[in-house]
Structure 1
Amino acid sequence: MRMSTFIKNFIERETISRRHFLLASAAGLGAAVLPNPLGGSARAALTDPAIAWSYRDRASAYWNSVVSGGEAFVESLGKPKSALVSLINEGSSEKSLADIKAFLAKNNGNCALACDANDSPNARPIVEAVAAAGGYISTIWNKTDDLHPWDFGDNYVSHMTWSDEKPAEETARILFEAMGGEGGVVHLGGIAANNPAVERLNGLKNALKDFPNIELLDAQPADWDTQKGAALMSSFLTRYGDRIKGVHCANDNIAYGVIEALRAEGIEGMPIVSYDGNPEAVQMVMDGQLLATVFTNPHWGGGITSALAYHAATGSFKPSEEPKEHREFYGPTVLVSKKDAEEFKAKYLDSVPKYDWADFWGPSNGQIQYRS
């Protein structure tokens, strides 16, 4: 069966994005960071800091939405979109850190950065490099539990993540109900060291406790990637065959690959749930190809993360004077199922809501809680 036009084009865009990344790497950010003699604590408010977003790729609708939020923020400052520098790491933690160090060196630390560190252990060296150079950084998604903004004075402005466990549990329950409460399920996850990958698998496992006739056949990382998702689903089909009655995906990109792997085997109508609430996935929910996805408002998340770093850098507010719930907090989540997908699409996707980028914590969802 022929590959759907959307997913075929999506995979082609991923490949092109990687080529562009390699060309940019060859041309650009290879310099080592230069030490800032002032250090992070000696510098006062910055003047017109360079603004950057460090993230995985432009191939996915999710990261495009994050960056569009950052661009909307810089435009609110009267700057062009191009004033937001993209530091694209393509899933490499080493590249993420090297590019940030090069950006700091190029701008002598006069920087405001928004960043997803790619994996949790990479967050600390990134934050330490930014603080040492006198820059300011706000992070999302990935950091270790022992890394806190308040341990770095003002330079580590904030960290936002999303409480993925409960929404992933909700999608799993929708999946299990569609399976009739019995049969085998497989989970295709993100990068193993990513906080959201861990939480989304935990959500699935939580739901399993109430469905004794559902068997988790396998759970493996697909690295948030469509092509890896397709390859992994093909291997699951080879190993487990028709024992698979449902699929739990850690993000929408993986789900696209799962659908193609199923179609290659002539399988239609398999119950599938995913995560991210990308426009294509929402349409698939409306069309019945996916049961549910979860929206994390990446446009708002991308814009407000940039805004926090920038306004802290320019002295609009002092992070160290803010309560802890303003420095580590959850972003919003919205479960999207067939019954509400059309209403959701009209509200969030057909036209992008306008946000007040000075309302730093308006849609946020409380302080991050850690397991003891």
Structure 2
Amino acid sequence: MSTFIRDFIEREKMNRRNFLLASAAGMGSLVIPSAFGFDRARAQLVDPQIAWSYRDRASPYWLAIVSGGETFVESIGRPRDSLVNLINEGSSEKSLADIVSFLQATGGNCAIACDANDSPNARPIVEAVAAAGAYISTIWNKTDDLHPWDFGDNYVSHMTWSDLKPSEDLARALFDAMGGEGGVVHIGGIPANNPAIERLQGLRNALVDYPNIELLDAQPGDWDTQKAADVMSQFLTRYGDQIKGVHCANDVMAYGALEAMRAEGISGIPVTAYDGNPEAVDLVMKGDLLGTCFTNPHWGGGITAALAYHAAIGTFKPSEEPPEHREFYGPTILITQADAENFKKEFIDATPTYDWTDFWGPTNGQIQYPASN
């Protein structure tokens, strides 16, 4: 196995340690003023600053997201480093505080692309942005009762990915690799995250057709490699050779699972992942991972920033768009050993060129909610 997994874990540890030191110094504290000082919502902005609010730089997924955002700002004649990075390190409190500070610093003359870190955090972020007369597009995490059209034009759009079917397909491939029987464990994301919920449910959906597969345990790894390694070590202690397969909710947690098994001298247990990061695709090609799922984060990062920016300057008016242009699913591609090499050539060895004004080209339709919503 490549040593990159151990190097990756060390980088994550260092990033986490730096964040904790910053928080101890008061940099992560949340101070929200009672009023933003804005008394009007502007129809359009002039030369707004652009920011991406996201989790961390340790993850190849978020690096791809930001790379897309930087490519977009280049397309409008700005330098890549003009994109403001608001890195929350997995803290919803810091996510909101950083956005409030950015709104104050720019006087609301800004466009923000954002993953709120967890679903409940999306509402206060959106409310702060709308109150400031700024514009925001979100991805992945929001509650089902929060909708862009409830905020006029300022909440431009929300994109998520329909993880149920891809996660179910990966689970079926995993169960087939297990010979249709034995115990499986699941390492999930932050429990309140929409993708974490759907990826576990996809696994459960697949279990219906595999009566001889038993879900031994499902525990959160919080999208973190080291925590996933710890969870996998606990699974190995508790269940031992009952474990015949591992279903992970993202790539970097799969790295942790592989490292935990390597430390115990265990090999040959099939593992699935999610995100389609370059390292994960290499592991699929080598056979260390059974499969992963690509959500095209480069495009997602660029188009989310593009939507917020173009709405802010008045290129289009969000409130005049149909619902499927306000809430929509992003693209997904399943990657197995059979197609990993071709995928790598198309999406990793070469970055496709995108038209950042084709806002909804690769999307997969309007987000669907449970009937109660």
Aligned residue identity for 1:5: T
Aligned residue identity for 2:190: I
**What are the superposed Cα offsets for residues 280-313 of structure 1, whole Å, 9 maximum, x if unpaired?**
0000000000110000000000000000000001
Q: What is the CA–CA distance in structure 2 between the aligned matches of 1:20 and 1:130, rounded to whole Å?
A: 28
Aligned pairs, number:
369
Q: Quote the residue 1:16 is aligned against.
A: 14
Aligned residue identity for 2:9: I
Matches within 5 A, 1:157-196: 157-196=156-195
Q: Quote the residue 2:307 is aligned against.
A: 308
Change (3 A) 1:33 1:305: farther
**What are the superposed Cα offsets for residues 15-61 of structure 1, whole Å, 9 maximum, x if unpaired?**
2333554577659787655844444x531211111110000000010
- Asked if the contact 1:53/1:87 (under 8 Å) is kept, the reply is yes
Q: What is the CA–CA distance in structure 1 between the aligned matches of 2:298 and 2:251, rounded to whole Å?
A: 16
Q: Quote the residue 1:348 is aligned against.
A: 347
Q: Quote the residue 1:273 is aligned against.
A: 272
Q: What is the CA–CA distance in structure 1 between the aligned matches of 2:37 and 2:183, rounded to whole Å?
A: 59
Aligned residue identity for 1:79: R
Q: Does 1:134 align with 2:95?
A: no
Task: Name segments (4+ residues, structure 1) moved above 6 Å.
Answer: 27-31
Q: What is the CA–CA distance in structure 1 between the aligned matches of 2:27 and 2:302, rounded to whole Å?
A: 25
- Asked if the contact 1:276/1:293 (under 8 Å) is kept, the reply is yes
**What are the superposed Cα offsets for residues 312-359 of structure 1, whole Å, 9 maximum, x if unpaired?**
011111000000000000000000001000000000000111100000
Matches within 5 A, 1:331-346: 331-346=330-345
Q: Does 1:262 align with 2:253?
A: no
Aligned residue identity for 1:324: P
Change (3 A) 1:53 1:34: farther
Q: Quote the residue 1:225 is aligned against.
A: 224
CA apart distance, 1:5? 1.5
Aligned partner of residue 218 in structure 1, secondary structure: strand
TM-score normalised per structure 2: 0.96
Aligned partner of residue 43 in structure 2, secondary structure: coil
**What are the superposed Cα offsets for residues 135-164 of structure 1, whole Å, 9 maximum, x if unpaired?**
100000000000000000000000000000
Aligned partner of residue 253 in structure 1, secondary structure: helix
Aligned residue identity for 1:108: G
Matches within 5 A, 1:67-106: 67-106=66-105
Change (3 A) 1:178 1:151: same
Aligned residue identity for 1:313: A
Q: Quote the residue 1:357 is aligned against.
A: 356
Q: Quote the residue 1:150 is aligned against.
A: 149
Q: Quote the residue 1:243 is aligned against.
A: 242
Q: Quote the residue 1:6 is aligned against.
A: 4
**What are the superposed Cα offsets for residues 213-250 of structure 1, whole Å, 9 maximum, x if unpaired?**
00000001000110001000000010001000000000
Q: Quote the residue 1:48 is aligned against.
A: 47
- Asked if the contact 1:136/1:312 (under 8 Å) is kept, the reply is yes
Aligned partner of residue 231 in structure 1, secondary structure: helix
Aligned residue identity for 2:276: G
Aligned partner of residue 174 in structure 2, secondary structure: helix
Q: What is the CA–CA distance in structure 1 between the aligned matches of 2:177 and 2:242, rounded to whole Å?
A: 15
- Asked if the contact 2:6/2:259 (under 8 Å) is kept, the reply is no
Aligned residue identity for 1:158: S
CA apart distance, 1:264? 1.1
Aligned partner of residue 335 in structure 1, secondary structure: strand
Q: What is the CA–CA distance in structure 1 between the aligned matches of 2:6 and 2:179, rounded to whole Å?
A: 32
- Asked if the contact 1:36/1:134 (under 8 Å) is kept, the reply is no
Q: Does 1:367 align with 2:366?
A: yes
CA apart distance, 1:113? 0.2
- Asked if the contact 2:28/2:94 (under 8 Å) is kept, the reply is no
Q: What is the CA–CA distance in structure 2 between the aligned matches of 1:82 and 1:22, rounded to whole Å?
A: 25
- Asked if the contact 1:226/1:257 (under 8 Å) is kept, the reply is yes
Aligned residue identity for 2:199: R
Aligned residue identity for 2:103: L
- Asked if the contact 2:41/2:132 (under 8 Å) is kept, the reply is no
Percent of pairs with identical residues: 73
Consecutive unaligned residues of structure 2, counting only runs of 5 or more, are none
Change (3 A) 1:20 1:69: farther
**What are the superposed Cα offsets for residues 159-211 of structure 1, whole Å, 9 maximum, x if unpaired?**
00000000000000000000000000000000000000000000000000000
